[in-house]
Amino acid sequence: MSEQRSVVITGASRGLGLASAQYLYARGWRVVAAVRSVDTGLAALREATGADVDDPRVIGVRLDLLDPDSITAAATAIQKAVGAPDALVHNAGIAAAGMLEETPMDLWERMFATHVFGPVALTQALLPAMRAAGRGRVVLISSAGGVRGMPAIAAYSAAKGAVERCGEALAGEIAPFGLGVTVLVTGVFDTEIITDSGAYTFRDFDGPYGQHHATIDRRGRAAMKIASPPAKFAAGLAAALGDRGPYVRRAIGIDAAALLVSNRLLSSRTMHQISRIAMGLPRFGRLRPSAPKANLTTRAMIRGAERLPEPIMMRIRSLVLRFQKPSPAASAGGTEQDPAI
C-alpha cells in the first residue's frame, strides 16, 4: 500500500463533494475529483484547499455518468494517476420534486443513470485493480429517501433505495478480496441540491396533488433552515473511510440517525403514518370525490387517533357513541357511513 492514500470523489466540484475533497486534502489524502467540467472543478477545489496548480495531490478527471465512453476514459485516467484507489466515493447525484404521476420517464431514466447505472459502470471498471491490490473501499451515498419511500420524490427515493441494495450485494461479493462497502445515510445538509435552483421540479400546484405540494413545500422550507453544514458531512465521510468491516451502514446527521432507529423499531404501517403526518398529507380517502365531509366529532377523533394510544381511543369512541344522538338514517333502520379515517 502506498503511504499517501488516494480517494476518488464523484461530483467534487460543489456541495458535499467539494467539502469532502477539501476536508480529506487537508488530512493528507490525494484527491481525484471526478467531475463533468475539469476546469471548473479544479478551480473550485484549488480555491477551497489553497493547492497550487501543480499540486500532485489534486487531480481532475472528466466524468459524465450518463456517457459510457466518458466512464471508461475516467477509469483509465484514474488508474494512470493513482493506480488502484484506496477509496471510491460515489457522491454525484441529482434531485427532483414531483409525484410519481407527474414525473416523466426521461427523468426516471436520468435519475437511475446518475445514481445507479453510472456508478455501477465506474465501479466495474476500477474493481479489477482494487482486487489486485487487495484493498479499497466503495462508499455509496444514500439518504432518508433510500431508507423509506418518500412522497413527492418517488424517482429520487427509488434510485437511492436501489443504491442501498446494490451496496449490500456488492459487499458480499468483494469482501473475500479484502475490499469493503460503506453506505452513508445522510440527513439534510445545506447545499444547492435542496434548493429550488438545485433540483428538477415537476410539481403542479394547480393539479390534483396541489394540496400535497403546498404543505410539503412549506414544511420542507422550514426544515431547510436547520440544515447541517457540509463540513459535518465531510467529517463523517472521513470517519467512514476508516471502516474495516466488509459492510457498514452509517448515518450522518441527527435526523438520519433518528430515522434509522425508528425504521428499525417501528412497523412499516406506523412509519407510513408518521411520514404522512409529518409531511401534512391528508388521511386515506380524504380527497376522493365521494368522500363525505367529517363533522366536528369525527375530526376530533381523527386528531386524537394520530396522537393517542389505541386503547384510549377505543374508550373515548365508546363514550361518544353512547351519548351521541342517533341519526335519522339509523332511526329508520338504515346505516350511516362513517368517513374514512
pLDDT one-digit tens code per residue, 118-150: 999 999 999 999 999 999 999 999 999 999 999
* Per-residue pLDDT at 340: 34
Q: Which three-class secondary structure state does DSSP give residue 97?
A: strand
CB 164 within 8 Å of CB 142: yes
Helix, strand, coil % (nearest 5) of the chain? 50, 15, 35
Query: Which is the catalytic residue, given 23, 25, 156, 209?
Result: 156
Whether residue 156 lies in the annotated active site = yes
* Per-residue pLDDT at 222: 74
Cα–Cα dist 305/61, whole Å? 55
Closest CA to 30 of 66, 60, 65: 60
* Per-residue pLDDT at 298: 56
Cell of 40: 471548473
* Per-residue pLDDT at 97: 92
Cα–Cα dist 32/30, whole Å? 7
The contacts of residue 22 (CB under 8 Å, 6+ apart) are 45, 48, 49, 234
* Per-residue pLDDT at 287: 85
* Per-residue pLDDT at 331: 42
* Per-residue pLDDT at 257: 93
Burial label, 205 (beta-carbon count in 10 A; 0-12, 13-18, 19+)? exposed
Closest CA to 87 of 22, 182, 166, 16: 182
CB 142 within 8 Å of CB 156: no
- Average pLDDT for consecutive 10-residue bins of the chain (341 residues)? 83 95 97 96 94 94 97 98 97 94 96 98 98 97 94 95 98 98 94 67 89 84 80 96 96 93 93 88 85 59 56 58 50 38 31
* Per-residue pLDDT at 336: 36
Please give the torsion angle defined by the CA atoms of residues 6, 10, 13 and 16, in that order, rounded to the nearest 10 degrees: -90
Sign of CA dihedral 47, 49, 54, 56: negative
Cα–chain center distance at 279? 16
Cell of 234: 465531510
CB atoms within 10 A of CB 173: 12
**In 66-99, which positions are buried (b, 16+ CB within 10 angstroms) versus exposed (e)?**
ebeebbebbbebbbebbebbbbbbbbbbbbbbbb
